[in-house]
Amino acid sequence: MALKGLAISGGIAVARVCLFNESRHSSIPIYTVQSAEVEKEVERFRKARETAARQLDAVRADVAARIGEAEAEIFVAQRMILEDPTVDAQILDAIRKRHANAEAAINTVLDAFEARLQRMDNEYIKERASDIGEVRRRLLDILHQVAPSLQCGDADYCQRGRNRIVIAEELTPSLTLGLDTEHTMGFVTERGGVTSHAAILARALGIPAVSGIKGIHSLLACGTEVLVNGDTGEIVISPSDRTVARLRAGAKTRIRAPKPEPACAELSVLANISLSEETAEVIEMQAEGIGLYRTEFEFMAAERLLTEDEQFERYAAVLRAMDGKPVYVRLMDVGSDKPLPGVAVENEDNPSLGWRGARFLIGRPDLLATQARALARASAHGDLRVMYPMITDRRQFVKLKGLFREAVAGLRKGRIRHGAMFEVPAACLQAADILKSADFASVGTNDLIQYLFAVDRNNDRVAHDYDPDRPVFWALLKQIADAARAAGRPLSVCGEMAGDPRYVRKIREAGIDRVSVSPRLIPEIRRVARRLCGGRPRARRGGARG
């Protein structure tokens, strides 16, 4: 889903989101202070104001050192609001004359000032209104001893804004600076213009930001992946790998990416790619290999069938670049929503149950043979493992492997391993049988969820039902992992859910210690895995590896 807002700080970022809860003061305490307690209430206000002044001085000094003197002036301006004699007099009046409690007095007085500036017909002055709001929130935070919080706060996958895109109602300067901004990937807010102080800070820090996305909190759950384009003001919710790859290819500026995280003993994390040029990012993210190379995208990007030589160049380049690390290349997975350019397919009533994946390859042995030859030649350049898509049973897998081997007989080649993708429930239920003939397997959860729950993976209307987190799914995954362990065959999960930090724990508990995810998600998945296992190296590796 793409939404258009206001571009307030340039650059592009793709990351998962953290939702900041800015509505923490939506119901402040309001009560009447007893006459005898009025001076105590005045004292509460004064103490809060002194603390706020000290905090603002500290923030000012921090910004001057981290960013620059000009940006630090924002906090001098906020201190002036805090100590403005008119504001001060009105708050004291409210406490002394109307016996308002400090919170209510601060709220009413500063709200009125803020609203007055908001009504001005001048964008610059309107933006200054947000400083008043920020001073108000700071005072209330001090009185209540709270800080801006995250909606996902307690979840074990929460990154507290680190390597995340921060979602907030408004990008206040304090929120911008209170974060570990070195690791903040981007900002998306409901309010705030180009001249807001926070936008100035985001630009100074080089963090892409988009504002003016109404109702963003209700559209996103914590952990959803979002693409922020601070150059165009567009955000894309749950962008596909293709959208990201296309943008990366055309972007003038580098896409802001998380810092790589070294490999961890708890979970092997490999990378999913669609095009050979994505290998650079795979290496940058220190992936332990390529766990899924969706070769059909090479044809789709070229908008035609590729010759054997053209395919060879792409596959060999990937294998060479990966320098001996395993590369799981999936034979073209054509059909359904992935038409092969140059190959006409009759209209089907039910394309996702039609001529696709393994069935297509059996139906077009000529195309399979060309790809097999290109792969066999490339196998001399690295560690090649060939994956067969949408396998239903052992007979079908053996047939395809036979066609592959026939096509490459007589060619000079390296060692090639052959494995099945488990995406069809029937194949999963026969995992032990299929693994008698396969060297390895990988669970394609995108399709498996679709077929297990009879829910279209591409239909927004039923998206709420596209949810793997149900006992039957985990039981099936465990059954496959048990079969792989018993057969001594390596097993991985390469569907999108493997890149979702919410599922790392359950994937590990199902007995799987290898996943393949979009390269940009590798650091976070490794961090979560390491945290779940207490950072300790695993004592004994499971059998389902290799």
Active site residues: 197, 494
Query: For residue 312, which phi and psi values (nearest 5 degrees)?
Result: -55, -45
Q: Please state the closest distance from residue 448 (CB atom) to ligand PEP, in A.
A: 7
Q: Please state the closest distance from residue 274 (CB atom) to ligand PEP, in A.
A: 9
* Residue 523 found at the interface with Mg ion (CB under 5 A): no
Contacting residues toward ligand PEP, per CB under 6 A: 292, 294, 333, 423, 444-447, 494-495
- Which residue, 217 or 356, is less far from ligand PEP as judged by CB? 356
Closest Cα partner for 512 from 454, 433, 456, 431?
Answer: 431
Token pair 């929120």 is at which residue? 175
How distant, in Å, are the alpha carbons of 165, 313, 435, 482 from that of 430? 42, 36, 9, 12
Extended strands (E) in 48-153:
149-150
Token pair 């004291």 is at which residue? 92
Q: Please state the closest distance from residue 494 (CB atom) to ligand PEP, in A.
A: 5
- Which residue, 292 or 358, is less far from ligand PEP as judged by CB? 292
Instruction: Tokens for 206, please give them.
Output: 């080089």
- Which residue, 312 or 388, is less far from ligand PEP as judged by CB? 388
Categorise residue 286: left if φ over 0, alpha if ψ from -120 to 50, beta otherwise: left
Query: For residue 544, which phi and psi values (nearest 5 degrees)?
Result: -80, 55
Selection from Mg ion, ligand PEP, none that 141 binds (CB < 5 to 8 A by kind) is none
- Which residue, 103 or 447, is less far from Mg ion as judged by CB? 447
Selection from Mg ion, ligand PEP, none that 495 binds (CB < 5 to 8 A by kind) is ligand PEP
Instruction: Tokens for 215, please give them.
Output: 């109702």
* Residue 447 found at the interface with Mg ion (CB under 5 A): yes
Selection from Mg ion, ligand PEP, none that 278 binds (CB < 5 to 8 A by kind) is none
Q: Please state the closest distance from residue 426 (CB atom) to ligand PEP, in A.
A: 15
Strand-pairing partners, residue 387, are 330, 419
Query: For residue 247, which phi and psi values (nearest 5 degrees)?
Result: -65, -40
Selection from ligand PEP, Mg ion, none that 13 binds (CB < 5 to 8 A by kind) is none
User: Taking the alpha carbons of 6, 9, 11, 15 in that order, is the dihedral positive or negative?
Assistant: negative
Q: Please, what's the largest Cα pairwise distance for the chain?
A: 100
* Residue 335 found at the interface with Mg ion (CB under 5 A): no
Q: Please state the closest distance from residue 173 (CB atom) to Mg ion, in A.
A: 46
Stretch that binds Mg ion, among 7-15, 300-308, 418-426, 513-521 (CB under 5 A): 418-426
Beta carbons of 168 and 175 less than 8 angstroms apart? yes
Selection from Mg ion, ligand PEP, none that 71 binds (CB < 5 to 8 A by kind) is none
Q: Give the separation between CA 126 and CA 103, rounded to whole angstroms.
A: 24
Stretch that binds Mg ion, among 125-133, 424-432, 444-452, 511-519 (CB under 5 A): 444-452
Q: Quick one: how far is CA 334 from the chain centroid? A: 27
Selection from ligand PEP, Mg ion, none that 292 binds (CB < 5 to 8 A by kind) is ligand PEP
Q: Give the separation between CA 482 and CA 491, rounded to whole angstroms.
A: 10
Q: Please state the closest distance from residue 447 (CB atom) to ligand PEP, in A.
A: 3
Beta carbons of 187 and 202 less than 8 angstroms apart? yes
Token pair 């580098």 is at which residue? 254
DSSP secondary structure letters along 454-516: T--TT-GGGGGG----SHHHHHHHHHHHHHHHHHT--EEE-SGGGG-GGGHHHHHHTT--EEE
Q: Please state the closest distance from residue 462 (CB atom) to ligand PEP, in A.
A: 17
- Which residue, 499 or 501, is less far from ligand PEP as judged by CB? 499
- Which residue, 51 or 446, is less far from ligand PEP as judged by CB? 446
- Which residue, 370 or 450, is less far from ligand PEP as judged by CB? 450
- The two beta strands, 234-237 and 2-4, are antiparallel
* Residue 291 found at the interface with Mg ion (CB under 5 A): no
Q: Give the separation between CA 33 and CA 429, rounded to whole angstroms.
A: 70
Q: Give the separation between CA 247 and CA 369, rounded to whole angstroms.
A: 33
Selection from ligand PEP, Mg ion, none that 519 binds (CB < 5 to 8 A by kind) is none
Query: For residue 492, which phi and psi values (nearest 5 degrees)?
Result: -135, 170
Q: Which residue is nearest to Mg ion (CB)?
A: 447
Beta carbons of 272 and 518 less than 8 angstroms apart? yes
- Which residue, 17 or 421, is less far from ligand PEP as judged by CB? 421
Q: Please state the closest distance from residue 490 (CB atom) to Mg ion, in A.
A: 19
Q: If DSSP codes are grouped into helix, strand and coil, which group holds residue 452?
A: helix
Q: Give the separation between CA 220 and CA 244, rounded to whole angstroms.
A: 19
Token pair 């097999």 is at which residue? 372
- Which residue, 241 or 447, is less far from Mg ion as judged by CB? 447
* Residue 444 found at the interface with Mg ion (CB under 5 A): yes
* Residue 141 found at the interface with Mg ion (CB under 5 A): no
Identity of the amino acid at 122: N
- Which residue, 49 or 385, is less far from Mg ion as judged by CB? 385
Stretch that binds Mg ion, among 55-63, 75-83, 229-237, 417-425 (CB under 5 A): 417-425
Q: Please state the closest distance from residue 368 (CB atom) to ligand PEP, in A.
A: 17
Beta carbons of 491 and 544 less than 8 angstroms apart? yes
Token pair 């590729």 is at which residue? 306
Q: Please state the closest distance from residue 296 (CB atom) to ligand PEP, in A.
A: 8
Residues that bind Mg ion (CB under 5 A): 423, 444, 447
